[in-house]
């Protein structure tokens, strides 16, 4: 099997995680893919392949003879796909892109006007969806590239390397991928997550992240007799929304700019809830955003009555930059590996997070590498065939002793 065969096999597994679940992993179907990966890793020659009770897959490629003292490098990807769009019955298509729009099916298309970066892929084969599901390149492309690189190293013993630790995590998409990661079992000195987007990206800066849930308590009275008595929780919640900074939303920010993002809202006159994520690369600006939200809730409680608004605020992860800066050889090594195989490296900040951010704070320095894909978490997701083959070459060069 090559990297494309593996990828097409892996996306046939439905592995959506579920942020409302109380189990670990959040969905049992993630373990089904984990068990398949253990069998495959064992078959290609890795040792100690196992999926543990929490759904984490661990394996190792032993060091080449004479290279046992080389530091152990880890390669990590996640098995789950985003809860945002269905990952069941994925029907990938491989199309030769000749320019213009890409028809998908179900009346959907990847439109060149909406995604101008497509022009760089003219003449290439792209793997796309059929318009009804996401593709799963985030992060089954990372899985396929890591497994394929390991298989290549096993079949080419002339390429010398130290011990390579392999780890595949569940529940990354709901922020829990590092919750039960066993660092002792993984046993690596450094690692990379292979979980980025377009080919060549190297990332060691990510958002500081928090989640917020706001519960709004109203007073419902028959609308015919409600004057000076009703407190409509929907309108009260809208009061909060309209007081949020209008320019600090995802649709108005880029690069290092942070944002507030309301991602869920429900309610009636008596009770309304809204969920929000807060992001910023700068730690002080991140803290200021949380303080702003706390002050806004306090102000609205003063306006509508104490206890009308309840805020639950929880930090999710922090910018890994401070943990990677003492280990910048990881970034330089990644650049060299890419250049060696003809890929132009591009160091960019992640406008999101990876397992690597939390693992770095747990003591495992872990920057992030591209997979080659784009438009993650939706029906317009795609990944170029050439990019996946190139990433396998990059990983082989990266671990070469």
Question: pLDDT tens for residues 81-105?
Answer: 999 999 999 999 999 999 999 999 9
Structural contact between residues 400 and 161, judged by C-beta atoms closer than 8 angstroms: yes
354: confidence class by pLDDT, cuts 50, 70, 90:
confident
The single residue of 14, 40, 80, 195 carrying the catalytic annotation is: 80
Q: Give the number of domains in the chain.
A: 2
Last residue of a domain, one of 317, 346, 367: 317
pLDDT digits 0-9 by tens, 118-152: 999 999 999 999 999 999 999 999 999 999 999 99
Q: Quote the mean pLDDT of the chain.
A: 97
Q: Is the pLDDT of residue 401 over 90?
A: no
Last residue of a domain, one of 264, 295, 317: 317
pLDDT score recorded for residue 331: 98
Considering the domain architecture, whether residues 219 and 291 belong to the same structural domain is answered as yes
Considering the domain architecture, whether residues 212 and 201 belong to the same structural domain is answered as no
Tell me what percent of the residues of the chain surpass a pLDDT of 70. 100
Dist CA 357 CA 338 (whole Å):
22
Considering the domain architecture, whether residues 22 and 147 belong to the same structural domain is answered as yes
Considering the domain architecture, whether residues 300 and 339 belong to the same structural domain is answered as no
Domain of residue 78, residue span = 3-205+319-399
Considering the domain architecture, whether residues 346 and 305 belong to the same structural domain is answered as no
Supply the CATH number for residue 305's domain: 3.30.70.360
pLDDT digits 0-9 by tens, 202-216: 999 999 999 999 999
Last residue of a domain, one of 265, 296, 317: 317
Report residue 143 as tokens.
Answer: 């899985």
Considering the domain architecture, whether residues 222 and 200 belong to the same structural domain is answered as no
The single residue of 40, 139, 145, 172 carrying the catalytic annotation is: 172
Considering the domain architecture, whether residues 177 and 309 belong to the same structural domain is answered as no
Helices H / strands E in the chain, number of each: 10, 17
Dist CA 77 CA 64 (whole Å):
23
Report residue 367 as tokens.
Answer: 């920057």
pLDDT score recorded for residue 148: 98
Supply the CATH number for residue 17's domain: 3.40.630.10
pLDDT score recorded for residue 353: 82
59: confidence class by pLDDT, cuts 50, 70, 90:
very high
Q: Is 107 exposed, middle or buried (CB count within 10 Å of its CB: 0-12, 13-18, 19+)?
A: exposed
Cα torsion angle, 142, 147, 151, 154, sign: positive
Considering the domain architecture, whether residues 331 and 305 belong to the same structural domain is answered as no
182 classed as catalytic: no
pLDDT digits 0-9 by tens, 275-286: 999 999 999 999
Considering the domain architecture, whether residues 253 and 350 belong to the same structural domain is answered as no
Considering the domain architecture, whether residues 191 and 142 belong to the same structural domain is answered as yes
Mean pLDDT, to the nearest integer, of 261-270?
Answer: 96
280 classed as catalytic: no
Structural contact between residues 168 and 34, judged by C-beta atoms closer than 8 angstroms: yes
pLDDT digits 0-9 by tens, 180-197: 999 999 999 999 999 999
Considering the domain architecture, whether residues 239 and 173 belong to the same structural domain is answered as no
Considering the domain architecture, whether residues 36 and 9 belong to the same structural domain is answered as yes
Helix (H, G, I), strand (E, B) or coil at 174: helix
Mean pLDDT, to the nearest integer, of 324-343?
Answer: 98
Whole-angstrom CA distances from 170 to 81, 109, 143 are 9, 30, 12
């Amino acid at each position: 099997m090559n990297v494309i065969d593996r990828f097409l096999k892996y996306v046939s597994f439905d592995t959506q995680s579920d942020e409302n679940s109380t189990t670990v992993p959040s969905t049992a179907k993630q373990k089904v893919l984990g068990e398949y990966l253990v069998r495959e890793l064992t078959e290609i020659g890795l040792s100690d392949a196992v999926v543990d009770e929490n759904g984490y897959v661990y394996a190792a490629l032993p060091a080449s003879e004479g290279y046992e003292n080389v530091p152990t490098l880890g390669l990590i990807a996640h098995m789950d796909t985003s809860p945002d769009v269905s990952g069941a019955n994925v029907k990938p298509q491989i199309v030769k892109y000749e320019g213009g729009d890409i028809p998908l099916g179900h009346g959907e298309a990847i439109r060149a006007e909406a995604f101008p970066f497509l022009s760089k892929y003219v003449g290439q084969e792209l793997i796309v969806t059929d318009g009804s599901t996401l593709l799963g390149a985030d992060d089954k492309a990372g899985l396929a590239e890591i497994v394929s690189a390991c298989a290549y190293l096993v079949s080419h013993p002339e390429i010398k390397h130290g011990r390579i630790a392999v780890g595949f995590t569940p529940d990354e998409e709901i922020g829990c991928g590092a919750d039960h990661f066993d660092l002792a079992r993984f046993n690596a000195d450094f690692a990379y997550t292979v979980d980025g987007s377009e080919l060549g990206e190297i990332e060691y800066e990510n958002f500081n992240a928090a989640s917020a849930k706001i519960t709004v308590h109203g007073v419902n009275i028959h609308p015919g007799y409600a004057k000076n008595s009703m407190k409509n929780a929907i309108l009260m919640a809208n009061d909060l929304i309209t007081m949020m900074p209008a320019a600090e939303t995802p649709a108005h920010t880029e690069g290092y700019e942070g944002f507030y993002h309301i991602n869920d809202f429900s309610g009636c006159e008596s009770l309304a809830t809204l969920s929000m994520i807060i992001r910023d690369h700068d730690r002080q600006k991140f803290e200021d955003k949380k303080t702003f939200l706390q002050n806004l809730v306090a102000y609205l409680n003063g306006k509508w009555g104490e206890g009308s608004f309840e805020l639950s605020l929880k930090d999710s992860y922090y910018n890994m930059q401070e943990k990677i800066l003492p280990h910048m050889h990881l970034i330089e090594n990644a650049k060299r590996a890419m250049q060696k195989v003809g890929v132009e490296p591009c160091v960019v900040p992640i406008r999101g997070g990876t397992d690597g951010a939390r693992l770095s704070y747990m003591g495992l320095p872990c920057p992030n590498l591209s997979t080659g894909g784009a438009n993650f978490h939706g029906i317009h997701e795609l990944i170029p065939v050439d990019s996946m083959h190139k990433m396998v070459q990059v990983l082989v060069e990266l671990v070469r002793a």
